[in-house]
Amino acid sequence: MEIIINDANFEAEVINSELPVLIDFWAPWCGPCNMVAPIVEELAEDYAGKLKVCKINVDEAPGVSRQYGIRAIPTLMVFKGGEMVDQQVGVAPKDVLVTKITPYI
């Protein structure tokens, strides 16, 4: 299950999370974002209970997007212990994303 993140719940859901977190920064008008969305959904199912998967609409959460310097979407970030530990800018196949999250699970 994916969790929708905004400026108000970012700290509680991401920074204070006991699980590692994969965040998908996206927008509904972004074609490449729509290409990566099914992969992110698969990861949420594959790693349920081991990884928290969140989505941040950059148009609806400009504060978090600005805080992390999001300039291109999709951008996927991995957080562990409240810190950003890895990221992927642009569309990537599932196996690439798995290699980015596996060290933190």
Q: Which residues, other chains included, contact 16 with Cβ-Cβ below 8 Å and sequence gap of 6+? A: 82
pLDDT confidence of residue 2: 77
Residue 88 backbone dihedrals phi, psi, to 5 degrees: -135, 120
* pTM greater than 0.85 (yes/no): yes
Q: Which of 33, 36, 64, 78 is catalytic?
A: 33
Known catalytic membership, residue 30: yes
| Residue-level length of the chain | 105
Annotated catalytic residue 33: yes
From the candidates 21, 30, 36, 40, which is the catalytic residue? Answer: 30
Q: pLDDT of 45-79, one tens digit each?
A: 999 999 999 999 999 999 999 999 999 999 999 99
Of 86, 83, 34, nearest in space to 57 by CA? 34
Asked if residue 73 lies in contact with residue 23, where contact means CB atoms within 8 angstroms, the answer is: no
pLDDT in tens, 23-44: 999 999 999 999 999 999 999 9
pLDDT tens profile 5-24: 999 999 999 999 999 999 99
Q: What is the pLDDT of residue 68?
A: 95
Give CATH for domain 2-104: 3.40.30.10
Domain ranges of the chain: 2-104
